[in-house]
């Protein structure tokens, strides 16, 4: 097996993991602080992608389009929180699941009405196309490196905000004791709306970065959402650190599995059997991993609330 190939796939896994992290961070924050299960998080991912495509087309500039797309997703997110999600904070998880499920249907269809069901193409500016040389004689897409870079920077910024700023302190406090924070006179409603907007922007970022790599189409959010759930279960609810670890693990395992399981199996069993079993097993890999983690540590690897 080609070492360079392995390294390339590792980078792909890192890139996928970074996107999972952006989604997971938003979702786990919202759950940790507002105790809200938000299935429509995937829809915000989708909205980010679509708004950016539209904005880039409209302004003719990629950077401007990205900024508008992000800002737009932030606004949509906060609107959603104020209009529809506020009433759900007091409800039990079942209600939240069902209501946000209804929102998914709504968003997917709305996007389909506005832009149709066929996949859209998100073009990249020339300075983001092309390749970098990671090893002598081996090249890797520049864009994916940028994605990894952006993800890591955002991750670091997120860590800084949560660990070192006053807002972050409120977030951490709210995660462990909601009522206390409210009793201290902090405007809880505003905090919630801001946090939710934060999470929406992260999802939107993931969506717009995903555009050129994966398909931009209605329903794109749900495919990644379930993998985000796996990340959160593995990493532990309410913890950014858990989201990061879980995302990287899931991203790398899934990518490497899809790339190498079939040829690996071919060494042990007959090629036609590997041909059939390989892809099937590879797609199940992260779920099996989740089951394993659950068996050993039911609260995940780094749960926010321990004990």
Partner 1 sequence: MRARALILAACVLLLLAVPALATLLKQPYYIDLIRRVMIFAIAAVSLNLILGYGGLVSFGHAAYLGVGGYSVGILAFYGIHNGWLQWSVAIAASALVALVIGAISVRTRGIYFIMITLAFTQMLYYLGISVEEYGGDDGMRLKVKSQFSGLIDLGDPVAFYYLVLALLLVCTYLTYRLVNSRFGLVIRAAKSNEARTRAIGFSPYPYQLAAFVISGALCGLAGALLANHTGYVTPAYMDWTRSGEIMFMVILGGMATSPGPALGAFALLVAEDLLAGWTEHWQVILGPLLVLCVLFFKRGLAGLLPGGGKDG
Nearer to partner 1 by Cβ, of 165 and 283: the residue is 283
Question: What would the two tokens of residue 268 be?
Answer: 């042990």
String of contacts with partner 1 for each residue 178-217, x by CB under 8 A:
----------------------------------------
> Is 94 one of the binding residues for partner 1 (CB under 8 A)?
yes
SS3 41: helix
Asked if 120 and 51 touch (Cβ cutoff 8 Å), the reply is: no
Residues 6+ apart with CB under 8 A from 118: 217
Q: How far is the CB of 225 from partner 1 (least distance, A)?
A: 9
Nearer to partner 1 by Cβ, of 113 and 132: the residue is 113
Candidates 20, 7, 9, 17; CA nearest to 202 is: 20
> Is 226 one of the binding residues for partner 1 (CB under 8 A)?
yes
Residues 238-297 that bind partner 1 (CB under 8 A): 276, 279-280, 282-284, 287-288, 290-291, 294-295
String of contacts with partner 1 for each residue 36-75, x by CB under 8 A:
-x--------------------------------------
- Give the angle 229-234-238 at the CA atoms, nearest 5°: 70
Burial 128-162 (b: 16+ CB within 10 A, else e): eeeeeeeeeeeebbebbbbbbebbeebbeebeebb
Interface residue with partner 1 among 67, 120, 222, 260 (CB under 8 A) is 222
Torsion sign (Cα): 214, 218, 222, 228: positive
Positions touching partner 1 (CB under 8 A) are 31, 37, 84, 87, 91, 93-95, 97-99, 101-110, 112-113, 222, 226, 229-230, 232-233, 237, 276, 279-280, 282-284, 287-288, 290-291, 294-295, 298
């Amino acid at each position: 097996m080609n070492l360079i190939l392995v390294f390339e796939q590792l980078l792909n896994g890192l890139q996928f993991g970074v996107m999972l992290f952006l989604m997971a961070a938003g979702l786990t924050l919202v759950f940790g602080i507002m105790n809200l299960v938000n299935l429509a998080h995937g829809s915000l991912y989708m909205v980010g992608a679509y708004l950016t495509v539209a904005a880039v087309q409209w302004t003719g500039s990629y950077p401007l389009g990205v900024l508008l797309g992000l800002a737009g997703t932030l606004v949509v997110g906060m609107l959603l929180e104020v209009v529809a999600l506020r009433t759900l904070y007091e409800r039990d998880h079942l209600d939240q699941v069902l209501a946000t499920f209804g929102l998914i249907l709504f968003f997917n269809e709305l996007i389909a009405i506005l832009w149709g069901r066929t996949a859209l193409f998100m073009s990249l500016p020339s300075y983001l196309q092309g390749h970098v040389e990671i090893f002598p004689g081996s090249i890797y897409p520049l864009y994916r490196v940028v994605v990894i870079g952006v993800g890591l920077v955002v991750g670091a910024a997120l860590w800084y905000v949560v660990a070192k700023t006053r807002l972050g302190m409120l977030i951490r406090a709210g995660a462990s004791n909601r009522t206390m924070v409210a009793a201290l006179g902090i405007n809880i409603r505003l905090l919630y709306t801001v946090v939710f907007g934060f999470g929406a922007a992260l999802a939107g970022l993931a969506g717009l970065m995903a555009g050129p790599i994966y398909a931009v189409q209605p329903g794109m959010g749900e495919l990644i959402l379930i993998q985000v759930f796996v990340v959160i279960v593995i990493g532990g609810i309410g913890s950014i650190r858990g989201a990061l670890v879980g995302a990287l693990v899931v991203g790398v395992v899934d990518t490497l599995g899809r790339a190498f399981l079939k040829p690996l199996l071919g060494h042990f069993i007959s090629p036609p059997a590997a041909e059939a079993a390989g892809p099937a097993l590879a797609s199940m890999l992260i779920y099996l991993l989740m089951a394993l983690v659950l068996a050993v540590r039911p609260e995940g690897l780094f749960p926010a609330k321990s004990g």
